[in-house]
Amino acid sequence: MDQLGVAVVGYGLAGSVFHAPLIAADPRLRVAAVVTSSQERAEQARAEHPGVRVWPTTDELFAAADDIDLAVIATPNLSHAPLALKALAAGLPVVVDKPFAVTSADADEVVRAAERAGLPLSVFQNRRWDNDFLTVRGLIDAGELGEVRRFESRFERWRPVPKGGWRELGEADAGAGILFDLGSHLVDQALTLFGPVTELYAELDRRRPGVQADDDAFIALTHASGTRSQLWMSSVAPQLGPRMRVVGSTNAYTVFGLDPQEDALRAGRRPDDGHPWGTVRSEKWGIFGAGDDLRPIPTAPGDYPAFYAGMAAALLDDAPVPVDPRDAVETLRILEYARHVAGPAEP
């Protein structure tokens, strides 16, 4: 089978752990090129993807990209929109890691450029394929919760001392901070499940010395559907709350712990290694029911590979892209408004 050649622009955590392994696991895609100026990362890419071409700059990639069919932008947030525009100008379909851009205006510009060029464009909102999210979506679609009244969702960590890196130590205007990092996922999940927002409340704080952007945040959304979403993201939570708690008119669902796919990818596991992927043991299932009638129910398997399977289908079968970039623009508008409502994160 002929495979589409994919260029991964940036080979740090996002490019090497989240994008390249999922691309390589899809039978219709291959990691054909990597852009990195780091010799160490270049050697890593060659070891992990035999035959890959490594370029130090995007100019060199785009000048010699005859066998490239898709560009994946996995660089720091501030460069997402400029590099996406550059790839589109070179005639390439594009996937952009989240957040789509550092402003909704920049993201809008990329969407318009893709529309003018007639090229597919998507945003890597991989946590639409988390096991807990898929489980909740299945319960909602089946009507098992009744009318959903409240959606609580958390990404919390206990990291009192920053690990370093631009996501923690960079400036908020450059897309650093927990609001744009984890909030991009939480807001996207809430909008996907419950639709447009009519009211918003937000809190942003800087809790740790040396951190320049928010590391502790809360957003409350009122959806036009009537559902209220409460979203927590924190690096300084000594005890972690439920990953999700969904309260309906007839039943509720509560689940603790994170989807295992990120840890599996970080540990070097791959979706095509022949072992079950995205599953958890029964003792980690969430609890469903009402009153005293509570029971654990199976957690749906997580499925990050579905994103790049969807991109292959968009490029080869004229299917829609797996994540509409307009959804990511709306997520950015919510994040921008949250920052406006909360004001600058204070220490």
pLDDT of residue 331: 98
pLDDT of residue 1: 55
Quote the CA–CA distance of 224 and 201 in Å, as a whole number: 15
Q: Which long-range contacts (CB under 8 A, 24 or more apart) does 263-267 make?
A: 265/17, 265/18, 265/21, 265/22, 265/304, 266/17
pLDDT in tens, the chain (347 residues): 579 999 999 999 999 999 999 999 999 999 999 999 999 999 999 999 999 999 999 999 998 878 899 999 999 999 999 999 999 999 999 999 999 999 999 999 999 999 999 999 999 999 999 999 999 999 999 999 999 999 999 999 999 998 888 788 788 887 889 999 999 999 999 999 999 999 999 999 999 998 888 999 999 999 999 999 999 999 999 999 999 999 999 999 999 999 999 999 999 999 988 889 999 999 999 999 999 999 999 999 999 999 999 999 999 999 999 999 999 999 999 999 999 999 878 77
- In order of start, what are the domains of the chain with their CATH numbers? 4-124 (3.40.50.720), 127-303+332-342 (3.30.360.10)
Please give the structure tokens belonging to residue 280. Answer: 């958890």
pLDDT of residue 180: 93
pLDDT of residue 119: 98
Nearest to residue 130, comparing CAs of 328, 227, 238, 263?
263
pLDDT of residue 152: 98
Nearest to residue 164, comparing CAs of 233, 235, 232?
235
**Alpha carbons within 13 A on the beta-carbon side of 18:** 22
Nearest to residue 60, comparing CAs of 36, 41, 28?
36
Encoded amino acid at 74, one letter: A
